[in-house]
Amino acid sequence: MKQARVLTEQEQRRLLAVIADTRYAARNRMAFMLSYMGGLRVGEIAALKIGDVLDSEGRVREQVRLSAEITKGGQARTAFVNDRLRKELERYAASLSDKQRQPERPLLITQKGKPFTANVLCQLMGGIYNQAGFDGASSHSGRRWFITKLAHNSVSAKVIMTLAGHKHLSTTQRYIDVNDDMLRQAVAKL
């Protein structure tokens, strides 16, 4: 099975420009940011509730606890919120009405006002990638970018594995993208 394409920083900017022109731009941008900046799987993103990301005072949490029920491996884990993701969450939360900010409400809702399923969110993200002209990109592209970026910033394999929620290092290694520019930079360090 072919792996999801990992976008470059320039391609990500183009993707965000395309998202800005979509009907539900704030919601769509939030879905992609949770994938790229949090490393979340599409099913985890679809299952998030407002209370998972905002505290009782309406502030963005420093950590998003993913229960075992919504993770692929059935193991609870924590996604840490970096500064960029926090700003994205704050911006998104500010766009919501008081009713939409209730802790038990889904973080992202469909145009019909229903919670997303993983499949529907996967289709939405795939459609936006297609609209942007990125062949081979899928709802898993952001997660692969997240893991690749950590690896290329010399984050330890154990830390990456834990953040990704993988049980085996070999799984994490399959996510890491390598291209010619990265290889050239590595050899240039010798």
Domain annotation for the chain: domains and CATH numbers: 9-142 (1.10.443.10)
Nearest to 139, CA basis, from 46, 77, 68: 46
- Within 54-179, residue ranges assigned H as helices are 83-94, 118-132, 141-152, 157-164, 169-175
pLDDT for residue 1 = 62
How many angstroms separate the CA atoms of 67 and 44, rounded? 9
Q: Which two tokens stand for residue 174?
A: 């399959």
Which helix (H) or strand (E) covers residue 185, if one does? Answer: helix 180-188
The pLDDT profile of the chain, 190 residues, written as one tens digit per residue, is: 689 999 999 999 999 999 999 999 999 999 999 999 999 999 999 999 999 999 999 999 999 999 989 998 888 999 999 999 999 999 999 999 999 999 999 999 999 999 999 999 999 999 999 999 999 999 999 999 999 999 988 899 999 999 998 989 888 888 888 877 778 888 988 8
pLDDT for residue 179 = 74
Count how many Cα atoms sit within 13 Å of the Cα of residue 59 in the half-sphere of its side chain.
4
C-alpha pair distances (Å), 153 with each of 9, 81, 112, 118: 15, 17, 41, 30
Asked whether the beta carbons of 135 and 126 are under 8 A apart, the reply is no
Q: Which two tokens stand for residue 127?
A: 């459609």
How many angstroms separate the CA atoms of 100 and 29, rounded? 17
Q: Which residues are CB-neighbours of 66 under 8 A, at least 6 positions away?
A: 40, 44, 52, 76, 77, 78, 79, 165
